Structures are given as C-alpha cells and as structure tokens.
C-alpha cells in the first residue's frame, strides 16, 4: 500500500514542518522497480505532481502549499531507526 516520505535534517532530526522540507503521506506507493511503469505513473500522477503544483515553485503562495499539507500531512516519522 501507500507509504510516506520522512525527511530528516543533517543531524538526523525528523522535519515535521512542511515549509522546512517535511515529507508527506502518499496516496500511491512508490514502485519497487523503475520497470514497474504503471506504479511509477500512478505514484507520479497522485503524489509527485500535486506536490510540485502546490509547493515546489516558490512563486506559489504559501497558503496554497498549506492546503496541500492539510490534506497530506507529514505523518509521524518518529522513533525511526535508519
């Protein structure tokens, strides 16, 4: 099933603020292989493109990005050992 992207700073501390680089919950799981093209396309369409449209471009107002994170919160990537 779907997963999440957890982002950490250079000290290994989980980033929970979306405007500081937090990850997001995914609707579609990332593919296990580059050759799983249908899953790659689904993940890109449902997870990557919405984030790019709402948050990647610094010209997009911050409140638009916040709407995205209201629907796709950073999750709870705590106590994760890597």
Structural domain harbouring 42: 35-80
Residue 56 forms part of a structural domain: yes
pLDDT attached to residue 41:
92
Mean pLDDT of 21-38: 83
Residue 72 forms part of a structural domain: yes
Residue 41 forms part of a structural domain: yes
Residue 26 forms part of a structural domain: no
Would the CA dihedral through 58, 61, 62, 64 be positive or negative? negative
Residue 58 forms part of a structural domain: yes
Residue 53 forms part of a structural domain: yes
pTM flag (> 0.75): no
Structural domains counted in the chain = 1
Q: What values do phi and psi take at 33, rounded to 5?
A: -145, 145
């Amino acid at each position: 099933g779907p997963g999440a992207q957890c982002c950490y700073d250079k000290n290994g501390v989980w980033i929970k603020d979306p405007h500081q680089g937090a990850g997001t919950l995914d609707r579609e799981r990332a593919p296990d292989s580059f050759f799983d093209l249908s899953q790659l396309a689904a993940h890109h369409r449902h997870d990557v493109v919405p984030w790019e449209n709402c948050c990647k471009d610094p010209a997009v107002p911050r409140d638009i990005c916040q709407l995205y994170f209201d629907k796709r919160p950073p999750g709870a990537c705590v106590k994760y050992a890597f």
